[in-house]
Amino acid sequence: MTEEEKWYKRKLSGILTKTKDKKSTPDGLWEKCKECKTLVPSKDWIRNLYVCPECNYHERIGSREYFNLLFEKGKYTELATGITSGDPLEFVDSAPYKDRVQVAQAKTGLEDACRTATGKLGENRVVVSCMDFAFIGGSMGSVVGEKIARGIDYSIEHRLPFIMISKSGGARMMEAAFSLMQMAKTSAKLALLNKAKLPYISILTHPTTGGVTASFAMLGDFNIAEPKALIGFAGPRVIKETIGRDLPKGFQSSEFLVEHGFLDFIVDRNDIKNKLNTLIKLIKQKKK
């Protein structure tokens, strides 16, 4: 049994910490949809990829779940490991930045807010970078930028399509300019990927905001999103307070952005693997 299979077994058995939206019953664990409040058996919730069967609400998931979904039989090789955040500014607010990083690492089991891996997606070998919101709100620091950059380098070296799954609260303020530099760094790497005529598909999930949206998240050959994802630069509350006006209904939702031409299309999580295979074939044909 692989480590990923063991994790799923623990998840199903309820060994992992229960959240307030989980209900214990004589028959086992149930999940409560945050949107429509429907109770769904945990095994069905996981089988449906954390999507509510009643209202199609897509619960936020992390790199572990996306890698298991996209890579054949959940088999992949993680790239750019062993990288952790420094503390160039010796930043302290309510707690030292170093302590925040250590707490996040212990809580999530992650090095930082992004993981990069390679493996087979259908008939294509690909590289996937995926952000984890559970790690300091998916904030983009120097490690996130480095993991994405190394993933792109690997794609170019081995002539592989690159897929980015974004999920972020924006730049990590504790790293200041070091964080903002990742916008230019990742964008420059993507320019090299395009020059090499290799596919880049960007998947925007809930939420994708700040410097992530302003850089690599919107630079795909195809920019696609999950349903009802919040996507934008500044948050809707900040914008409303700034301009002093009510915003359009559904402003900054993936549906609103598709309607106004900022995204190519929306795809359900259950369909994402097939869609990616189709898009990679189309881009490869176009870039020949």
pLDDT of residue 161: 97
The structural domains of the chain, with segments of one domain joined by +, span: 1-59, 61-287
Task: Name residue 15's amino acid.
Answer: I
Strands 200-208 and 162-168: parallel
Q: What is the mean pLDDT of residues 157-180?
A: 96
pLDDT of residue 87: 92
The neighbour count for residue 199, using CB atoms within 10 Å, is 25
The residue to which tokens 């945050």 are assigned: 34
Strands annotated E in the chain: 22-25, 28-32, 39-41, 77-79, 114-121, 124-131, 162-168, 200-208, 222-225, 265-266
∠ CA 12-273-210, rounded to 5°:
85
pLDDT of residue 10: 52
Q: Which CATH superfamily is domain 61-287 in?
A: 2-enoyl-CoA Hydratase; Chain A, domain 1 (3.90.226.10)
pLDDT of residue 247: 84
The per-residue DSSP string of 10-38 comes to HHHHT-SPPPTTEEEETTEEEEE-TTT--
pTM check: above 0.85: yes
Task: Please say if the pLDDT value at position 288 is more than 90.
Answer: no
Of 284, 285, 274, 288, nearest in space to 199 by CA: 284
Q: pLDDT > 90: what percent of the chain?
A: 78
pLDDT of residue 195: 96
Q: What is the pLDDT of residues 228-252, one digit of tens each?
A: 999 999 888 888 889 988 888 888 9
Is the torsion defined by CA of 210, 215, 216, 221 positive or negative?
Answer: positive
Interatomic CA distance for residues 20 and 33, integer angstroms? 11
Task: Please say if the pLDDT value at position 284 is more than 90.
Answer: no
Task: Name residue 161's amino acid.
Answer: P
Interatomic CA distance for residues 78 and 99, integer angstroms? 26
Q: What is the mean pLDDT of residues 211-227?
A: 97
Out of 66-75, 208-217, 276-285, least confident range: 276-285
